[in-house]
Structure 1
Amino acid sequence: MGACAIATDANISIGLESNTTGITAFSMPGWQLALWATAYLALVLVAVTGNATVIWIILAHRRMRMVTNYFIVNLALADLCMAAFNAAFNFVYASHNVWYFGRAFCYFQNLFPITAMFVSIYSMTAIAADRYMAIVHPFQPRLSALGTRVVIAGIWLVALALAFPQCFYSTITMDQGATKCVVAWPEDSGGKMLLLYHLVVIALVYFLPLVVMFIAYSIIGLTLWRRAVPGHPAHGANRRHLRAKKKFVKTMVVVVVTFAICWLPYHLYFILGSFQEDIYYHKFIQQVYLALFWLAMSSTMYNPIIYCCLNRRFRSGFRLAFRCCPWVTPTEEDKIELTHTPSLSMRVKRCHTKETLFMASDVAEAANGQAGVPKKGSLRNLKPYAWLQGEA
């Protein structure tokens, strides 16, 4: 890889690359710039407002504070930050091909986007794992509050470590009088280090977690739709609970598929550029990049819309959050949906139901000559209401 390609290879996987507009300043008509600016501004406003509302809905209402929803908060926080700190600044860079924001922010822009994307997709993976344990293995102990915090902190630390090499090689250069924020990889690597980093990042923040989630949700789907969930008789309140789990799984599958569709063209763009660098020097590539970058960044604004459309509690939360708008009229049911908690009698009934299930299991084992053999899923090893947690 030549010096020009190295000098123009900035923000390789998530942020803007100056090679998007080549080594000469690309300009576009004012009307075209205005259209792109409007599209990016709408994206940022919807993403920031929507994800901030999701965070408020979960943290401000005790009924929403559960393990799965804390991962949704982590996902919403990453998406909010990516929209606020990446989309707008990199749009300015792509449209003008000049870096206006200084050396420190250049380092930040080469560190944070990969970090935020890693946090986003691995928060989805953590949700899939949590749903897998809750639905496929309902009698296993669930992740505790402390364990949830540890997992979230671990996701952020691994994400920062993954993004660090790109930040480390970031620098400010001058190209024909214009300031550029670039990632100057070592010249003696012959481009191998850059290509290897591309492939590792794309594998870790895209393909690997998508494979894991596909397997997890496939097993969950088989469990929910082809046979009864262990511990969930198909009648009464448990039938409603099963429907709620199905709706939540459908919601998260839509979120994952949307993420995959939005980011796939962007990753393919950089993989292709690694093998055919000359594509970066065509004038049309600026419009291609702006379109692909907008599609990728738009993944940050779809999740709140999906939650609102497919989840009753989030829909109630959005109505309460935007009750000041004249076209939004929250009802008492919306308040009850987020603040009402099961009564003591209902909790006792649920606990009694669970004990009855285990007693029936013990009777069946005794009939088969297996009585007295300790089981891993016995009541003494099960957290209270573990199989009821996570209903969204």
Structure 2
Amino acid sequence: WQTRSHACRVIVGTWALAALLMLPYAVYSTTRPAAPRPPPAQCTHHWPSERVRQVWYVLLLLVLFFIPGGVMTVASGLISRELYRGIRFELDVKRDVAAQHGTGGDPAPTCDEGDGCYLQLSRPGAALELRALGAAAQQDGARINSSGAQLAAKRRVIRMLVVIVAMFFLCWLPIFAANTWRAFAPRAAQRALSGTPIAFIHLLSYTSACANPLIYCFMNRRFRKAF
């Protein structure tokens, strides 16, 4: 599965599917005069009918937005759930280790029914037992510190996944909603979106191309160390 040839086939298949999906743009794109103001001509789409145009933009909304967004949400949710389970497990382990050290550390005073409270006398070999307990405590402390670092790393990964999914919807929902609106109500959409609104919507969609590397850079320490 993780071979160079398989990766090449996946890449070629992805680009071929994308080219096939966007083929109608090459077939139905044309130019028309844009007078009286420059530029003298602009690229536009000449669909056979309004119904075809509406079906096309609904298809794009489904295939390029809802399906990828749903897959990203489900996949990120499953990964976050497994990481959260790992966090709960690590916290339970830390709690158990802390409880063991809390009950088995110092010699505790015990009560006798006749003489009251007293301290238990040391036995031969107690120094040896304390030395062994000290080594075990150091190992447990190192394990707890390592566990704390792993917990922090898992929390950062969960936050990064949430931000990535949120950025996808933030960047792409406006442009797909605008295109679908223009397909069903072109005049109303043109009046509401012309000028700055549509320019800002396109800027959001372009931002998606560079958002993920920035998210990885600021929220993933290993990604930064790789550079």
TM-based fold match above 0.5 = yes
Determine if the alignment matches structure 1 residue 202 to structure 2 residue 111.
no
What does residue 259 of structure 1 align with? Answer: 168
Please list every run of 5 or more consecutive structure 2 residues that lacks an aligned counterpart in the other structure. Answer: 94-142
Could you list the runs of 4 or more consecutive aligned residues of structure 1 that deviate by over 4 angstroms after TM superposition?
234-246
Residue identity in the other structure for 1:160: A
Shift of 1:280: 4.7
List per-residue Cα deviations over 1:219-257 (Å, max 9, x = no partner).
22222212579xxxx758995667656644542432222
What does residue 165 of structure 1 align with? Answer: 24
Among candidates 66, 74, 87, match of residue 215 of structure 1? 74
Paired residues of 1:279 and 1:285 also in contact (CA < 8 A)? no
Counterpart CA distance in 2 for 1:228 and 1:313 is 20
Paired residues of 1:262 and 1:296 also in contact (CA < 8 A)? yes
- TM-score, length of structure 2 as denominator length: 0.64
What does residue 181 of structure 1 align with? Answer: 43
Shift of 1:313: 2.5
User: Whose relative contact order is higher, 1 or 2, with alpha carbons under 8 Å and at least 6 apart?
Assistant: 1
Q: How does 1:103-182 map to 2 (within 5 A)?
A: 143-176=2-35, 178-182=40-44
List per-residue Cα deviations over 1:301-320 (Å, max 9, x = no partner).
322221111111222345xx
Shift of 1:204: 1.0
Counterpart CA distance in 2 for 1:296 and 1:238 is 41
State percent identity of aligned pairs: 28
Paired residues of 2:57 and 2:180 also in contact (CA < 8 A)? yes
Q: How does 1:283-362 map to 2 (within 5 A)?
A: 285-318=194-227
List per-residue Cα deviations over 1:22-57 (Å, max 9, x = no partner).
xxxxxxxxxxxxxxxxxxxxxxxxxxxxxxxxxxxx
Paired residues of 2:87 and 2:154 also in contact (CA < 8 A)? no
Counterpart CA distance in 2 for 1:277 and 1:198 is 13
- TM-score, length of structure 1 as denominator length: 0.39
Residue identity in the other structure for 1:192: R
Counterpart CA distance in 2 for 1:154 and 1:244 is 34
From the CA coordinates, give the structure whose radius of gyration is larger. 2
Shift of 1:174: 2.1
Counterpart CA distance in 1 for 2:3 and 2:153 is 22
Counterpart CA distance in 1 for 2:16 and 2:68 is 17
What does residue 269 of structure 1 align with? Answer: 178
Please list every run of 5 or more consecutive structure 1 residues that lacks an aligned counterpart in the other structure. Answer: 1-141, 319-392
Q: What do you get for the CA RMSD once the two structures are aligned? A: 3.0
Residue 268 of structure 1: SS of its match in structure 2?
A: helix
Paired residues of 2:32 and 2:42 also in contact (CA < 8 A)? yes
Counterpart CA distance in 2 for 1:146 and 1:243 is 36
Count of residue correspondences:
171
As a proportion of its length, which structure holds more helix? 2
Residue 303 of structure 1: SS of its match in structure 2?
A: helix
Residue 282 of structure 1: SS of its match in structure 2?
A: helix
